Amino acid sequence: MLERRPFSARRASVCVLLGAAGCADQAAPRPSLPSVAPATQPTAAFQLTGAEVRPMYREMLAVDLGTVARVATARSIDIRQARERVEAARGRYESSVEAVLPVIAPALTYQHLEGANQNANGSLAFTNFNNLLPAITLQWIVNPGRIYYDIVASKRRLEASGQQEQAAELDAVRAAAVQYYDLMLAQARVAVARRAAAEAEEALRLTNLRAKAGAGLPADEMRARAFLAGRRQDLLLAVNAFYQASVALTVTLHLDPVVTLVPSPTQLAQVTLVREDLDIDHLLGMAVQYRPDLKAARILLAAAEADKGAVVWGALGPQLQAAYTYGGLGTRGRFQTAGIHEQQRASPSAGFALGLSTFGNVKTAGATLRSAALDAERQLEEVRAGVVAAQQASLTNAALVPFATEQVQSAEEALRLAQANLKEGTLLLLDVLQAEDQLDAARLRYADAVAHYNQSQVNLMAALGLLEAQRLTPESPPPATTPAPGP
């Protein structure tokens, strides 16, 4: 059974986990982001030659990863909404600061009295007169403690909204980069499917020649035709998947989905963004320090604490009031007519306003503060889990790439031997088709391993809070060193 700790201890533990510096000074500037990129890049790459596709409708647009990241930062609706929330928080902060200043209230009052009126001694008098009272009032009503905590809370929310804007930018870059690699993977699958269809056409041509020469069986020809039909279907599905990936990326980039996006690089290269010598404890510490959403959760916790202070001081603190009115009084009646005469009034006061609702308001503020602490704890757990998951995915895909490379090389050699034996008449066409299937599967595994490795690296950089558009591309892309499909 989990032990239920008091709120003060739980909040203190959250502050320790999130970083002592953050709980001490929420307005500290964002620290410079460290470099975690390796000195050299892997050499694995998948050639995309022969993967050309036609535009869905009218236009094609070639993009690269750097352009995609910059466009996502500039055009993302989520980022624009986050900026508007910053402006709203700035307006609330300015409003809380301006609440300290007095209120100026100009007024012009006209009064008509006719008939019975009461004198100061209580007797009645019958009169008929008109009054004109122009005035301007300077009024100041403030609860010092509540005003202070309101300003602190609104300032903290402004800082939190700024961190949330950075988090929105980071997530937009991450989503765009992941979808870009989805697009490249779809293009690689088109290349594999096109190569498979070409090989199936060649197999059918050779089968027809063997059948005409009397060295082949009709069943071989039918099998080759069925194999070609299946590969053509695979090619159509691969092209459609490419189009769907393009549409998904245009939505993220806020572009016209009618435009077909095509990766401009000619190879899907393995890119390492986080070097492998960083242990998990170091990575978790970096995430706690640099993740903007964690900073936002920490700052919102401080804002909730200030809100509770505002509620307590609003109920128990003194309320100060002061008013100064400068104006005039003019009258026109049966017995006296006078022009506007100067009139000044001043009234300072102080008091308390206590009510039973205070206890309920304090209870609500306390529950809100504890809820903010739990949100910070949950955010911390999600960040830690994201770092661990991204690193494990990166390590797994990094280990898959060499095996996938070996599989492609072995499958290509097996196909070469099968084709040679077919020409010698020691193997059947079915054996060749099976070898081609194995080679196509190996190529797809290799492309999947490289693309998913790059995506896991992007997710790991985002989980650390270090992802920026300029960090996505290495200085120079590595050359392709593994056999890959091409015409």
Please name the amino acid found at residue 200.
Answer: A
pLDDT of residue 422: 78
* pLDDT reported for residue 180: 94
CA–chain centroid gap for 204, Å, is 51
> What integer pLDDT is reported at residue 19 of this predicted model?
46
- How far apart are the C-alpha atoms of 425 and 432, rounded to whole Å? 12
CA dist., res. 44 & res. 454, Å (int):
11
- Which structural domains are found in the chain, ordered by start? 33-101+148-315+366-471 (1.20.1600.10)
Q: Tell me what pLDDT residue 49 has.
A: 62
User: pLDDT value at position 429?
Assistant: 72
Q: Which amino acid is at 229?
A: A
Residues 477, 66: Cα–Cα separation, whole Å:
13
Write down the pLDDT at residue 487: 33
- Which segments in the chain show pLDDT lower than 50? 1-27, 476-487
pLDDT value at residue 183: 94
Say which amino acid occupies 139.
Q
State the pLDDT at residue 239.
92
* Biggest alpha carbon–alpha carbon distance for the chain: 137
- Summarised one tens digit per residue, pLDDT across range 85-108 is 999 999 999 988 888 888 888 888
How far apart CA 86 and CA 84 sit, in angstroms, is: 5
**pTM for the full model?**
0.78
Structure token pair of residue 358: 């205070």
- pLDDT the model gives residue 322: 85
